[in-house]
Amino acid sequence: MGNGTIQEITHCFLFLPESSAIRAALLIQRWYRQYVARLEMRRRCTWNIFQSIEYAGEQDQIKLYNFFGFLMDHFTPASSERNLISHIFRENEICRDTEWERYFCYKDIEVPDSYTGPHLTFPMTFCGVSKLVEAFKHKQQLHARYVLQLLGETWRLLRILPNINQVSACHTKEITICGDLHGHLEDLLLIFYKNGLPSSEKPYVFNGDFVDRGKNSLEILLILFGFLLVYPNDVHLNRGNHEDHIVNLRYGFTKEVLGKYRMHGKKILKLLQKIFSWLPLATVIDHKVLIVHGGISDTTDLNTIARVDRHKVREPTHHAVNGSKTQMMNNRNREAGGLVEGRRRVCSLTYHSSAPAYKHNLPRRSLHNQPTSSQLNWSVEEELKRRRRQAGFDQSYGELTKSDSDSDPESGETTETDEHEWKQIVDMLWSDPMPQNGCSPNEVRGGGCYWGPDVSEEVLGKHNLQLLIRSHECKQEGYEFCHNRRVLTIFSASNYYEVGSNRGAYIRMGPDLVPHFIQYQASRTSREFTLRQSIGWTERSALRALKEQLFVHKSDLISAFHEFDPNNTGLISLSHWASVTEKVLNLGLPWRVLRPQLVSSTRYGMVDYHQWIRELSITEPKLEISDNSILETMYKNHSNLETIFRIIDTDHSGLISFEEFRQTWKLLSSHLKTEISDKAIADLAQSIDFNKDGSIDINEFMEAFRLVDLSAHS
């Protein structure tokens, strides 16, 4: 309703009798409430779409890394498929501390006279970091020499910091607490503009997830690390679940660094891998407010967290986190009643345990039905041999025994204490609160746990704390209380899913430890939108993303629709359409509510599902390939495929050979338990080798096969 309409209605009221004016006002009030309620329903549906797709992606990631861990545990060290991925589960020998200075030395890197970006001097000063902020604001790039030098100084500082930073609020200064930034540099700059730059008089706590998704993750890290070096007692950085080099392979940070620093990107990434493992895990303000990225569980013990050797949470060569095969899984199963195959591999916080049986057909929203070793030991060797043949590897397989870790130099024994400590860290980085009491596996994300109000009361009471501040979840208003206001979520990346999808927020907290919230929208466009325009914009974006998901599952959908259409009429009821769509996509969405936005027309309450698929308005490249099913497999597993590509591209050149391309597809087909012929893979490789040099550019390949919504361009 525009201002002109309101003025016209007000003008009409002046000429109505009092009783008629009251009745008219009540009618308008009722209409407006219904109007706002409809907008709110649309807003919530839109939010559910974005969040369901995001969490489904995280589950796919966990499943893929569980599969990698499975290969690491059960294939011999010399096997080809194990060699393809083994480097992501260990640190390169050259990255040992004894040779660190030589490998990461920046002194031989010259800064040319033509360089127009910022110049850094060390030790860092407030003036130097301020200039760096201004340079990034104007889209300048820092030279690789300064990047490596700044990262090296940061690594040295982080090594002496405790796992849990202790901060004190006083009457002269407030503490500012920021949540996820996810590469949104404009949000960080807006926070600094509104709140001021970090200093000894303006301390900050940044609560993890600085990287991935956004385009300026590296710039955010360099700014935060710069202020950390200048004010080590007043700038505090907690680790998030995205400060993990394997997660970065999927969600964009690896690609960002290699794109900006083609020559020295590999060294930068390796150094960041070390830095991420040394980031503190939590911050406590005045012994009363706990700040962690994800949350807690019913086993959280801050005394245990305080003494964990945190940097080993990614080095499988150390026994404390390498895993003792089935014993670890059995311990976790007893503890969680058969919890999901865990997250043992310390290279990444997304994998930690290794049950001898890897199962492909896991339901997307329930990952805890993994079989234990006693159920499938009899078929492990046969299954592995079959998968090895399927993947096209012909090296000797070797014998699998219950003590196979003894022959693997990367393996080691893990005690029950080590497993407990590992679980503590994973829960702090991955967990989410839930309204019900109790603690259960986080089946939506596939990692960490859900914890209830009773767990919050117990853990906070045990440590004499009054408030838990966490991040990890996007909130529409930028923040949200739960658990009787004992748990507070803060999220600082505005427009996270789409322009106008959410506000960002940060917290100011004084000595009274009462949080005060500042909300913002970094995009000028979103600030100019009316409520209706904002919801409409984000709704269209969410529906585009959902239509892509529907399109890539079109074969599965049609096959499932046929079960309810035995006479091949091409028609099914709306209720069957909704139930089948949920069964195939498993996103937990209100499909009947979404039906008017997804199905343009019905006939007597029936959906013409063939026409509906055609009306999704999604286009794909036309290629001469003998097996078109490989295209659908690729679209459905686009992110997994890119992750495997980047893992196999060990030199980070952005190019892979035809043989590596074939191995990638065989590895993916083994993970998905599907058959993909060598001819189909060869046809696909030939069709995208545009310059016929026998190699494939990963970025060009992934971009060429990105689905396009025609309705968005019409």
In contact, 298 and 458? CB cutoff 8 Å: yes
Tokens of 18: 């009092």
Which residue's entry shows tokens 């001469």? 624
């004016």: which residue's tokens?
21
Please provide residue 565's backbone torsions phi and psi, each rounded to the nearest 5 degrees.
Answer: -135, 65
- SS3 of residue 368 by DSSP: coil
Calculate Rg over the CA atoms of the chain: 27
- Is 243 within 8 Å of 208 (Cβ atoms)? yes
Angle between helix axes 185-195 and 126-137 (nearest 10 degrees) is 130
Tell how strand 695-697 and strand 655-657 pair up. Answer: antiparallel
Token reading at 491: 């999220």
- Using the structure block, give the residue that is written with the tokens 């590509």: 645
The answer to whether residues 672 and 360 touch, using CB atoms and an 8 Å cutoff, is: yes
Residue closest to 53 by CA, chosen among 545, 498, 536, 432: 545
3 state SS of 419: helix
Q: Which of 182, 242, 264, 576 is catalytic?
A: 242
Exposed e or buried b for every residue in 587-611, given b needs 16+ CB within 10 A?
Answer: bebebeebeebbbeebeeebbbbee
Lookup result for tokens 């980070």: 652
Tell the residue number behind the tokens 């022959």, with chain if given.
407
Q: Are 456 and 468 in contact (CB under 8 A)?
A: yes
Cβ atoms of residues 211 and 221 within 8 Å: yes
Containing 177, the helix (H) or strand (E) segment is strand 175-178
Would residue 119 show up in a list of annotated catalytic residues for this protein?
A: no
The DSSP letter of residue 123 is S
Angstrom distance (rounded) from CA 541 to CA 639: 19
Cβ contacts of residue 663 below 8 Å, gap of 6+? 80, 81, 84, 391, 392, 648
Active-site residue set: 242
